[in-house]
Structure 1
Amino acid sequence: MTKIVPEDKARQGHWGWHALRILIAGLLLAFIAWAAVEVYGEMIKSQTTGQNAPQAPAAEQKPTQGG
């Protein structure tokens, strides 16, 4: 004989503080990883652009005037 269970009691578990803490911890870890990648990306970008940047002409050189 099968047991009849009311719909509100048929759930396997409930969302409690434990599940909420796990979800928040996962979200915080994702933000920390994202921030680390952003900082690392900016660090790499500044290193590569600093090495290949063209040098400005010396201030003592005067441009020639045509005419």
Structure 2
Amino acid sequence: MDQKTIPPEKARQGRRGWHVLAILVVGLALALVAWYAAEWSAPPVTPPAEGTAN
């Protein structure tokens, strides 16, 4: 069986680049949008009145 020699740069599983950074930035932006939507849609929390039992 004839074996081929592959350079280490081509044998790597994945490469780093702008597309990885873009996916991370878009994911962070979507998380921030979801957090803002949850904060905006939640009812305001009011502290209990003085003298009430817990």
**TM score, norm. by length of structure 2:** 0.58
Aligned to 1:58: none
Larger radius of gyration: 1
CA distance in 2: counterparts of 1:11 and 1:40, whole angstroms: 45
Query: What are the ranges of 5 or more consecutive residues in structure 2 without an aligned counterpart?
Result: 50-54
Query: What are the ranges of 5 or more consecutive residues in structure 1 without an aligned counterpart?
Result: 55-67
CA distance in 1: counterparts of 2:30 and 2:22, whole angstroms: 12
Aligned to 2:52: none
Q: Which has the higher helix share?
A: 1
**TM score, norm. by length of structure 1:** 0.50
Aligned-residue RMSD, C-alpha: 2.4
Q: Percent identity?
A: 48
Aligned residues: 47
CA distance in 2: counterparts of 1:4 and 1:18, whole angstroms: 28
